Chain A
Amino acid sequence: MSQVFKKGPISAEINMTPMIDVVFQLLIFFMLVNNISNEEGAPMIVPELEDPKTLEFGDRNRVVINIEPMAFSENRKIGDINIPGQASSLKIGIERYALDDMDGVTKSLQQAKARNDKVEVLLRADAGLFYDEVQPVMQAIANAGIVKVNLVAYLPEDVR
């Protein structure tokens, strides 16, 4: 008898520690991934199309090239392209390149293609940029031996 009751009633608490560990790991993972994908999705307004045929894209084999515009006001709406048409920066993934460093872009994409043959290039340029800011980048992509490029634009309203 005394053995049974010595320690009082058995505590019915769930041990939370392993769960908290796991949750914290997940939290840190998502925070980091979020940070990286924020870098990839630089703030800009991509083209808004008439009757768009854009498709959603997967996450795999993706290399995002961002051509960022000059700073624009926060009130700029989708479809407003009245901004200075010059680009301000060029990024491949999270790496920044000089705007005239097209050889660097080509080299970086060649490396990406060597690492993964199925690499898909997403060209994300602001809707208001001049064509001659974007065209050299397309040329650089083509020079890297990548024949397909995915132009980023808004999805149709019903898919969004």
Chain B
Amino acid sequence: MTQSLSPTRTPPEATPPRQGISEPPFLAADEETVHHTPYRKRHPVLPKPVTVNMTPMIDVVFQLLIYFMLTLNFVIGEGVLTAKLPTGPGQPNPQSKPPERPLNITLRSSGAVGCIIGIEGMATQSANFRELSQKLAELQYNPELGRQGAYKPDNPVVIKPDSTTRWQHVVNAFNAAIKARYLNVSFAQASEPGSETPGDQ
């Protein structure tokens, strides 16, 4: 009976209670006798605005953002050694002072990847670049560090690799000279591989 009189209503037992708006229980019981506008008409349920759930998207976008920010770093783990370049072919930087005798480091390739490290004018070779650095330090004149060699720190040091010396050895030799506190280190043009004394330009 109740259902036929109010066709707009579905039986309360058939629908699960709506969330948010709860039906006043007294209305359901004696609806036929109470003459007033139904609850539904007084409080029309407005259609819910359709919204897209943004939360997962924002999560993903933030993840991407963080990823790109972190991977932005140029190349991780790399650094630089600042070198002066010879302005002329094979020449140390021109200076107004009378030219000093450059300290020449010769690098000769041996085998596929090897390298023979020498200092021009010295008979013995260095086994590795730590030893080269040590020798260069011994050759330096630097009273502050107690070094009694013949070469001042600003004396030109020229690295003379042959053409097939690997770049790694060249940079290593440069690093050794920097480590020995030389200030004016430059690179010569490539000499022919295997030549005993790398050719001067």
Assembled-state Cα–Cα distance A154/B81 (Å): 10
- Return the contact of B77 from the options A131, A138, A160 (Cβ within 8 A): A160
A-side interface size class: 35 or more
User: Could you tell me if B74 and A49 are in contact, using CB atoms closer than 8 angstroms?
Assistant: no
Q: Of residues 129 to 178 in B, which have CB atoms within 8 Å of A's CB atoms? A: 129-130, 133, 161-168, 170-172, 174-176, 178
- Return the contact of A81 from the options B166, B176, B179 (Cβ within 8 A): B166
A159 surroundings in chain B (CB, below 8 A): 79
B-side interface size class: 35 or more
Q: Judge whether A127 is part of the interface by a CB distance below 8 angstroms.
A: yes
B62 surroundings in chain A (CB, below 8 A): 23
Stretch in contact with the other chain, from B4-12, B23-31, B32-40, B63-71? B63-71
Binding site for A on B (CB under 8 A): 46, 54, 57-58, 61-62, 64-65, 68-69, 71-72, 74-87, 89, 93, 107, 112-113, 128-130, 133, 161-168, 170-172, 174-176, 178-179, 187, 189-190
| Additional A-B contact list (12), CB under 8 Å, known A48-B168, A134-B170, A153-B81 | A52-B175, A55-B82, A79-B168, A85-B166, A129-B167, A130-B165, A132-B190, A147-B87, A149-B85, A152-B78, A152-B80, A155-B78
